[in-house]
Structure 1
């Protein structure tokens, strides 16, 4: 599987020219929002204004009886650092022979290095599908499953999926891509727009969104 990881130097090399769009709360726009990543400030439910518009478009492209379930958007930089360090340390405990570079690269399959993290730019969403009653659909593994626990089934195009899970992932992927998002291929639920990773994948000269603080 030939994937460009978040740790690839090409990603960090993309310059940022932040367009200044504010963070907006998706809970004020009639989205189904899951509380599993909820924080006291409600940061998790925020995305850039343009990302919200794309989400609304993606939602309109889904077939009747299927809807988006928003799980996490904006992630403060300090929290991103904690997530990345914790997962890297977890890998180090099970792979004591790996070099720091190997650990950094492997960790970036699941958590973006903080300095280029799409979530900390308000540019990324973790999202999945629900039925018309709001019940989360089975897309092959739970959202935020790491490669070790899921035996690689978290990868968007993993071979070890049921036909139904593959079909549902395709529905989600097509709707999000048609709305202008880029998927991170190690996480079927992660999509971003306007950040460095998205800019690299689209061969754009710069990113529109960089790290931002929730005002």
Structure 2
């Protein structure tokens, strides 16, 4: 049996963070989820930034990659997990605490595992990104839903290949995942917009011996 992402070794290469708002080349949207994300959401590791630039250069003329969210602090991650935990508890009142935790983690990673051990969420490494493609007017192309509506749509619509997705939305999702994978990212199995490079999930999916990005809590250097 293969190791779970939480069991994968991390050897952080201490790569600096870069602020997309200052560096250019990649579009970004307003702060997502809650005001507390504003300080961090456009921060990503340099290696991730370079790969996003590759994705942008490979897109058809008139289409642009937009970063929805990059780095997320542990405190915000914990807040979002608790909010999703409450929603899951309401949807599945008969679930055990363990099952509720597992179900919640499909969409929001916890800073602690159910047994109390420390977990490092992908968004807290600077290696995970939520992205979409926009047109020249700045509007997201048809993906069947907008990322910001993830708490309001049917859970199956969030998955990469839901049943009943329109032909155009399916085509657009395939375009996004193809271009991201060509630049070294791996798609998260439960969210069509979430991709990883360098974190534990990436290491698990690619068979890498270890993750190269750990928690950014001690990374104080940011380049522009």
What is the aligned partner in structure 1 of residue 144 from structure 2? 140
What is the aligned partner in structure 2 of residue 5 from structure 1? none
Q: Is the 8 A contact 1:157 1:185 kept in 2?
A: no
Pick from 210, 214, 217 the counterpart of residue 210 of structure 1.
214
What is the aligned partner in structure 2 of residue 128 from structure 1? 132
Give structure 2 stretches of 5+ with no counterpart.
112-118
> Once the 2 structures are TM-superposed, how far is the Cα of residue 20 of structure 1 from its aligned partner?
0.3
Cα 1:144–1:198, aligned 2, differ >3 Å: closer, same or farther?
A: farther
> Once the 2 structures are TM-superposed, how far is the Cα of residue 160 of structure 1 from its aligned partner?
2.0
> Once the 2 structures are TM-superposed, how far is the Cα of residue 138 of structure 1 from its aligned partner?
1.7
Deviations 1:118-153 (A, max 9, x none): 110011111101012222112011114447722411
What is the aligned partner in structure 1 of residue 177 from structure 2? 173
Q: Is the 8 A contact 1:110 1:147 kept in 2?
A: no
What is the aligned partner in structure 1 of residue 69 from structure 2? 72
Query: Equivalents in 2 of 1:131, 1:143: separation in Å?
Result: 16
Structure 1 counterpart SS, 2:9: coil
What is the aligned partner in structure 1 of residue 115 from structure 2? none
Deviations 1:151-207 (A, max 9, x none): 411101112210000000011101100011011121111011000000000111110
Pick from 7, 12, 17 the counterpart of residue 13 of structure 1.
7
**Does 1:34 pair with 2:38?**
no
**Alignment of structure 1 residues 151-170 onto 2, 5 Å:** 151-170=155-174
The alignment's TM-score, normalised by the length of structure 2, stands at 0.87
Pick from 36, 40, 50 the counterpart of residue 53 of structure 1.
50
The alignment's TM-score, normalised by the length of structure 1, stands at 0.90
Deviations 1:87-109 (A, max 9, x none): 01221123221011211111111
Q: Is the 8 A contact 1:181 1:191 kept in 2?
A: yes
Aligned residues: CA RMSD: 1.8
> Once the 2 structures are TM-superposed, how far is the Cα of residue 42 of structure 1 from its aligned partner?
2.5
Cα 1:23–1:153, aligned 2, differ >3 Å: closer, same or farther?
A: same
